[in-house]
């Protein structure tokens, strides 16, 4: 069985959002178009408490983009985004949500961030996505969404580690590029790990 994983197609990652990914909204119609090609469609949703420790606002002496240690890991500080129950955490209205079989929330623990759709950044807790795909007897997954150099990358890398044949649709992803070249490096890292990049 083939599954499509839609990563974080939420308002805060779209143009005008608090952590806007350039051209993020252009991914939505591509996602809608691709859904009919898959047996199963799942979506990940960043779903942070208001006091999530990855937010720069929780560290008065720090700025967005700086690094701190969180749960023993290096953590980039982000603007407040995808706070539970806010419009920014909602999926884009144009996304065809009727086709989504299951939604997996992540980033719900205030003390550790969660880029991957499968685990928190410390790999301590599963979101349930991997177990669900295995229960559904999924063998291959295709990943798309936001952002290519963070949540998409870590989701694809974890999919490979869990034994799924993993593809990524490059024209259906957009990146943050916090440092120039981040997106290109992310694609190379995924490819080297065994992700098949479809242009």
CA 53 to chain centre: 18
C-alpha distances in Å from residue 23, one per residue of 32, 57, 83 = 16, 26, 21
109-168 pLDDT tens trace: 999 999 999 999 999 999 999 999 999 999 999 999 999 999 999 999 999 999 999 999
Q: Contact at 8 Å (CB) between 116 and 55?
A: no
Which of 151, 153, 158, 173 is an active site residue?
151
- 21: alpha, beta or left, given left = phi > 0 and alpha = psi -120 to 50? beta
Catalytic, 8? Answer: yes
* pLDDT value at residue 71: 85
Which of 8, 109, 120, 158 is an active site residue?
8
Averaged pLDDT, 84-98: 98
What are residue 145's DSSP bridge partners? Answer: 7, 173
Averaged pLDDT, 59-70: 94
Which of 108, 192, 121 is closest to 151 using CA atoms?
A: 121
Return d(Cα 179, Cα 25) in angstroms, integer.
21
Catalytic, 37? Answer: no
What are residue 197's DSSP bridge partners? Answer: 168
| Lookup result for tokens 């301590």 | 124
Averaged pLDDT, 28-45: 97
Return d(Cα 103, Cα 114) in angstroms, integer.
15
Structure letter (DSSP) for residue 39 = S
161-197 pLDDT tens trace: 999 999 999 999 999 998 899 999 999 999 999 999 9
Return d(Cα 182, Cα 10) in angstroms, integer.
21
* pLDDT value at residue 199: 84
* pLDDT value at residue 192: 98
Which of 12, 25, 80, 106 is an active site residue?
106
* pLDDT value at residue 17: 98
* pLDDT value at residue 46: 98
Domains parsed from the chain with CATH numbers: 2-198 (3.40.50.850)
Tokens of 164: 């799924």
Catalytic, 106? Answer: yes
Share the mean pLDDT of the chain: 97
Q: Provide the 3-class DSSP secondary structure of residue 157.
A: helix
């Amino acid at each position: 069985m083939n599954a499509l994983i839609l990563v974080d197609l939420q308002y805060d990652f779209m143009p005008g959002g608090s952590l806007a990914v350039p051209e993020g909204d252009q991914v939505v119609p591509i996602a809608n178009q691709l859904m009919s090609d898959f047996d199963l469609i799942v979506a990940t949703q960043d779903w942070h408490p208001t006091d999530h420790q990855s937010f720069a606002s929780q560290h008065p002496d720090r700025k967005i983009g700086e690094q701190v240690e969180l749960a023993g890991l290096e953590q980039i500080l982000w603007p407040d985004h995808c706070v539970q129950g806010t419009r920014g955490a909602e999926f884009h209205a144009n996304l065809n949500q009727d086709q989504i079989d299951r939604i997996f929330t992540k980033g719900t623990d205030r003390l550790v961030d969660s880029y991957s759709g499968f685990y928190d950044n410390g790999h301590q807790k599963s979101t349930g996505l991997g177990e669900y795909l295995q229960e559904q007897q999924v063998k291959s997954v295709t990943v798309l969404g936001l952002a290519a150099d963070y949540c998409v990358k870590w989701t694809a890398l974890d999919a490979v580690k869990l034994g799924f044949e993993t593809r990524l649709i490059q024209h259906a992803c957009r990146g943050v590029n916090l440092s120039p070249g981040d997106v290109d490096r992310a694609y190379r890292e995924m490819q080297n790990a065994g992700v098949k990049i479809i242009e």
